[in-house]
Structure 1
C-alpha cells in the first residue's frame, strides 16, 4: 500500500548510483513506477544492463565505479544527454564485511571508505551542475553504523559517519536550490548483506527479536521513504537522516516484555 499517487514523478529524471541490485534497485524501480526517467549505474556493465531491463525499456544501465570521479561524471553526462537535467540523485553504492580492526588491512579499510564516503562525495559533487535547480533532491543511503559503534565494523562506522556529515554540510551549502537528505535502512529482507549476517533461520529469528517491530524491513519500504524525500511533501526537509529501520537503532528490544502484567 502506497500513499503516493500515480505519476507523481512524471517528467523527472533520476540517477541511482549503486542501483543495479538490492535496496538501490528497488528505489530505482519505484521511481520508474511513479513516472520518472531512470538511470542506474554500477561497476559491472552486464549487471547494469540487466538492472535497466528489469526497470523498463527506457531505463539506462551505465557502467561506472563511484570511486572514479571521471567515470561517474561521464555516466551522469550520458544521463543528461539522454533525458535532460537530473532532478533526483541517489548515492547508494556501498561495501562491507565483518572483520576485527586488529586483523583488518589498511587497504581493506580504505576500500570501504573509498566506496561509501568518497563515492558519495563523487556522486554529489559530480551531479551539481547537471541538476534541475531549484527543486533538485539528493539522497544518500547511509546506515546505523554512522551513529552506533559496532564491533567488526570500524570501516563501515567511519565511512557512514562521514556520509551523514556530507549530507548535512551539502544541505547547508546548497540550500535552497538543492535539498540533501539521507536514508538509514535497518535490516532489510532480500539483500546480500542480511543474507551474510543471518544465513540460517535461528540467526534470523534472533535478529527479529532484537528489533522493536519484530521483523526485518522490506526493500519496498525503503523505496517509499526515498519517494517521500524527493516528493513535494518533503519540500522543507533537508539535512535530515531518515531512519527506516523498524526502531532497531533504539537498542535491543528482547527485554521489552519483562514486567508485563505486574502491578
Structure 2
C-alpha cells in the first residue's frame, strides 16, 4: 500500500470559481460514473481543489476523456458497479494507488423512459440493480475496506459517502423503476448514517433535478427536454458546476456535520411544478391574484 501524499501539486488548470485553492489537498475521492455528465463536472471541481480523484465506469474512453481534462491527479478504473468482484478489485486498486479513500461519490446510475405497464421484470431489475445494488456494493466495499478499519491513531479512519438520487420526490412518471431505487438509496444513506456514525462515517444524498448536461440534452425526447426548464420554479435548468460545488462542499470540512441528510438541488422543482403564479392565477401585469377583503370600519366597536 502506498503512503498517502500530504498535498497535491498537480491541480486542474482551471481553478474553482467558488472555493479556495487547496481546500481538498491530501484528500482522495472515488467517483463512480465519472466519465460524463454531473460526475465529470464533480471530478474537475474536486481536482481543482487539490484532491486526488479515482473515477470508475464501464466505458474506458469516457473515463480517459475526463482524465485528460483533469490531469495527473485523476486515475481511471474500468468497473461495472453491479459486479461484486469488480467492485472489490476497484477499491483494492484505489487503496493500493492512493493509500486511502476519504470520500465516495456514488454518481453512477441510469434509467430508461417508459410507462410503468410496459416495463418488464427484467427491465425493472436492470435499473434497480444499477442504482440500488450498485450503490450498496460500492458503499459497503469502501466502508469496510477503507473507512471502518483503524487508521494510524488506532481509531476508524472514517470518511464520507455522497450518493446521487433524483428529484422530484413526488413521482417521476415514466421512471417508476428509478424512483423506487433512488428512494431506497436515500433511506439507505439515512440508516447507515446512524449505524456507521460510530466509525466516523458521514453519509448523505444529493437529490438532483434537471441539469443541462450533454446526456440530458441528447438522451431524452426533444419535447421533454424543451419543456424541462418550464417545470422549474426558477425557470431554468441547473448547471453541472452547481452540482459539482455541492459535492465539493460536502467533501470539505464545511460538510463535516452533514450526515443522514438529503440535499435537494433542483431550483424548487420538488416543491412546485412550473412558475408561480401559474397561468390563470395572475393579473394582466403578471402579479399573483389576491383575495378581495371587506374593510372594517375602524370606528365601529370591535366584536366581543
If the length of structure 1 is used for normalisation, what is the TM-score? 0.92
Q: 1:78 aligns with which of 93, 113, 116?
A: 93
Q: 2:206 aligns with which of 183, 204, 207?
A: 183
- What is the deviation of 1:150? 2.3
The unaligned stretches of length 5 or more in structure 2 are 1-15, 291-304
Q: 1:228 aligns with which of 240, 249, 261?
A: 249
Q: 1:173 aligns with which of 178, 190, 195?
A: 195
- What is the deviation of 1:54? 2.2
Question: Partner residue of 2:59?
Answer: 44
Q: CA RMSD in A?
A: 1.8
The unaligned stretches of length 5 or more in structure 1 are none
Work out the number of aligned pairs and report it.
260
Question: Given the superposition, is the C-alpha separation of residues 198 and 7 from structure 1 closer, same or farther in structure 2, using an over 3 Å criterion?
Answer: farther
- Whole-angstrom CA distance in 2 between matches of 1:50 and 1:255: 41
Question: Partner residue of 2:125?
Answer: 110
Larger Rg: 2
Q: 1:121 aligns with which of 102, 120, 136?
A: 136
Could you give the per-residue CA deviations for residues 177-214 of structure 1, whole angstroms, max 9, x where no partner exists?
110011111110024134333526xx545322221111
In 2, are the aligned partners of 1:222 and 1:244 still within 8 Å (CA)? yes
- What is the deviation of 1:81? 0.8
- Whole-angstrom CA distance in 1 between matches of 2:227 and 2:73: 42
Q: 1:237 aligns with which of 243, 254, 258?
A: 258
Question: Partner residue of 1:252?
Answer: 273
In 2, are the aligned partners of 1:12 and 1:35 still within 8 Å (CA)? yes
Q: Which runs of 4+ in 1 moved over 4 A?
A: 132-135
- Whole-angstrom CA distance in 1 between matches of 2:214 and 2:111: 13
If the length of structure 2 is used for normalisation, what is the TM-score? 0.80
Q: Secondary structure at the match of 2:190?
A: helix
Could you give the per-residue CA deviations for residues 86-108 of structure 1, whole angstroms, max 9, x where no partner exists?
10111111121111121111111
Q: Secondary structure at the match of 2:263?
A: strand
- Whole-angstrom CA distance in 1 between matches of 2:128 and 2:240: 24
Question: Partner residue of 2:30?
Answer: 15
Question: Given the superposition, is the C-alpha separation of residues 212 and 198 from structure 1 closer, same or farther in structure 2, using an over 3 Å criterion?
Answer: farther
1:155 aligns with 2:177: yes
Q: Which moved more, 1:10-19 or 1:136-145?
A: 136-145
